[in-house]
Amino acid sequence: MSSFNLIVQGKALAMDVLAELAVEAGSPAIEPLGKTAWRFLDAKADTRETLAQYCRELECDWAFVPAGITLEHFGLWMTDMDSTLIQIECIDEIAGLLGIKDKVSAITERSMAGELDFTQSLRERVALLAGLKESTLKTVYDKKVKLTPGARELIAACQAKGVKIGLISGGFTHFTNRLKEELGLDYAIANTLEVVHGRLTGQVKGPVIDAQAKADWLVKLRNELGLRQDQVIATGDGANDLQMLAAAGVGIAFHAKPVVRYQAHVALTYSGLDGVINLFAD
């Protein structure tokens, strides 16, 4: 019978709080993983509901992880881009240069929450960008794109362990391709904005990268790499990531919408992306 470790992370906790968590988890020992992360050894999985409530009150992330599973067990990390690998929603920032950020971001918010059909909502938002100079995309990248805290650390950890990294987005190739080049990622998949005479037409070229496409690409790359499902990690924040998270061995909702947090295998709400490293630390 497999044993599990409980990973708690996200903020500094006092020793008495850690001791109480150990008692609640039925754990005989605690290993520090950093200043704001701990591993409770041989925790009892039947304490999940109690621990979930306790950690919510503490504003900490928690997860049960099979003992002995480290990052080198995995061969592929697939991640969403907007509001996951980077801190912004690119289409909202592009719209901001047209003075319509509020209008577009309201549609984005509803789409990520699962209230709107993703493909339809993407086409609706892209149509609002018609006429914008293509050079504007470079301005958004240079001035607005910032990596999520912990992203560089997780990328470095994956590269050190030989884990391939796939960036997949319902956003745009202008951003994913530059991130792939600058960060040394292995794959980048996204939508291509149609450009004529240096200006956006308001159309997307080819099929839209939607929820099903994200899951299909994960399976395609997994098979090409000769990996099992349990050797794949996926991270995302929106409803269009749900199928991809479900197709992975470990699907992680990262600072995600409620519908995603409730369905993912693990939720990281208070930690950075380096929280993934703590889940599978040596």
Catalytic residue set: 80, 82
At residue 222's C-alpha, the angle toward residues 218 and 223, to 5°, is 120
Q: CA dist 2 to 5, 69, 88, 233, 249, Å?
A: 10, 11, 39, 20, 16
C-alpha span between 142 and 88 (Å, rounded): 13
Are the C-beta atoms of residues 275 and 267 closer than 8 Å to each other? no
Query: How many C-beta atoms lie closer than 10 Å to residue 184's C-beta?
Result: 11
Per DSSP, the residues of 175-225 read: HHHHHHHHHT-SEEEEEEEEEETTEEEEEEESS---HHHHHHHHHHHHHHT
AA identity, residue 195: V
C-alpha span between 275 and 36 (Å, rounded): 10
C-alpha span between 79 and 268 (Å, rounded): 14
C-alpha span between 172 and 136 (Å, rounded): 13
C-alpha span between 29 and 259 (Å, rounded): 34
